[in-house]
Homo-oligomer: A and B are copies of this chain.
Amino acid sequence: MSRYWSPFIRALTPYVPGEQPVNSGLVKLNTNENPYAPSPKVLKAVRSHADETLRLYPDPEMKALKEAIAAYYGLASSQVFVGNGSDEILGLAFLTFFKQTRPILFPDITYSFYRVYCDIFQIKATQIPLSKTFDIQLVDYQIPNGGIIFPNPNAPTGKLLPLSAIKMLVQKNSASVVIIDEAYIDFGGESAVSLIQAFPNILVVQTLSKSRSLAGLRVGMAMGHADLIQGLDRSKNSFNSYPLDRLAAVGAVAAIKDDAYFQDTRHRIMKTRDQTVAKLKTMGFEISASAANFIFIRHKQVGAGTLFNRLRDKGILVRYFDKPRINDYLRVTIGTSTDMEAFFAALEQILP
């Protein structure tokens, strides 16, 4: 604390990202990174643009990237926004759409950055409890609100809502914006992008960090009615006009265009996930169906805090949230088959 901090900065509790050890040799199953390398076409594009043009500002409109995303999803460029990871986009979206008289709504158990954005931008929020089985019950969201946001599939549970349920919510909630945070949608869900043409109040946020193996390049995207995208542009141009560098932009274009690689790697992860779930069930874990590249698991006998520490001792890093309702659970990212074998081997040593 410093006397020079503004009063409200003193009161903040910032987001705490998962540990990012440098060159640790740990099996890293803690931050939902993709275990496969980015498409070779991404690396080639980045290398070939590491040239003297880096002296010039990037295109602040990110025209080429917006066009690639629009073409991929059958949208107009005016329906696409891009940012420095989906976190930056979410931050701008909170500011643009959620600073309203009524409180916004999001689940009590969800991506913990939502609460932080509310603090920093002084936005009122009501957290709606998940059901006992950790399901989002959309009937609970049919109350007056300044906006609604949740991830689909939800984090850290991995639980998915069907597109039909999202559609009904967006339809019934026409007075405010519904943001669907689809960071993990490519691992088994159906994107709500298809609702954009029909509904002016849905914003779909995605990231290249997970399903496109580009956490290190910091690119996210949002899709919605052109009016919503224009609002995001206003906020962006009031904070940082050039959040994507030239290399991130060309790498992202190559990633979006290499659909064959994307399909192959995401299906490999889904297959490993299903194999992992089957194996863990034989080891005494309770696991609900996950449509993400992680699973949320609880052991019938051994506590999650103990498991977290003992796994770490054996070189396996997973995520443990020491918070009410979920402190019996671990969130485990799906790695390669080899990563998961190492995880199973460590568990076999730890479990009774």
Of A71-79, A87-95, A296-304, the one contacting chain B is A87-95
- Cβ contact within 8 Å between A95 and B6: yes
A269 to chain B, nearest CB (A): 12
- Cβ contact within 8 Å between B238 and A15: yes
Residues of B with C-beta under 8 A to A215: 54-58
Query: A33 contacts which of B20, B28, B55 (Cβ < 8 Å)?
Result: B55
Knowing A47-B50, A228-B2, say if A238 contacts B22 (CB, 8 Å).
no
A266 within 8 A of B: no
- Cβ contact within 8 Å between B234 and A12: yes
- Cβ contact within 8 Å between B5 and A55: no
Residues of B with C-beta under 8 A to A53: 216
Chosen A-B contacts, 10 in total, with CB atoms closer than 8 Å, are: A2-B228, A4-B200, A4-B231, A9-B99, A17-B60, A31-B57, A37-B54, A84-B84, A117-B239, A120-B238
Interface residues contributed by chain A, number (CB under 8 Å): 87
Nearest 10 interchain pairs by C-beta: A37-B52, A14-B237, A2-B227, A6-B99, A216-B246, A54-B216, A55-B213, A46-B50, A120-B238, A218-B245
Knowing A46-B50, A57-B209, A97-B6, say if A17 contacts B217 (CB, 8 Å).
no
Query: A251 contacts which of B2, B42, B54, B237 (Cβ < 8 Å)?
Result: B54
Residues of A contacting B: mostly: loop
Knowing A54-B42, A116-B238, say if A4 contacts B227 (CB, 8 Å).
yes
Identical chains in the assembly: 2
A36 within 8 A of B: yes
Interface residues of A (CB under 8 A from B): 1-2, 4-9, 12, 14-17, 20, 22, 28, 31, 33-38, 42-43, 46-47, 50-60, 63, 84-85, 87-88, 91, 95-100, 116-117, 119-120, 176-177, 200-201, 209, 213-218, 225, 227-228, 230-231, 233-248, 251
A235 to chain B, nearest CB (A): 6
Query: A57 contacts which of B20, B247, B248 (Cβ < 8 Å)?
Result: B20
Q: Which residue of B lies closest to A122 (CB)?
A: B122
Residues of B with C-beta under 8 A to A240: 84-85, 87-88, 91
Q: Which residue of B lies closest to A203 (CB)?
A: B4
Q: Which residue of B lies closest to A32 (CB)?
A: B57
- Cβ contact within 8 Å between A4 and B54: no
A219 to chain B, nearest CB (A): 8
| Cα-based distance from A88 to B51 in the complex (angstroms) | 24
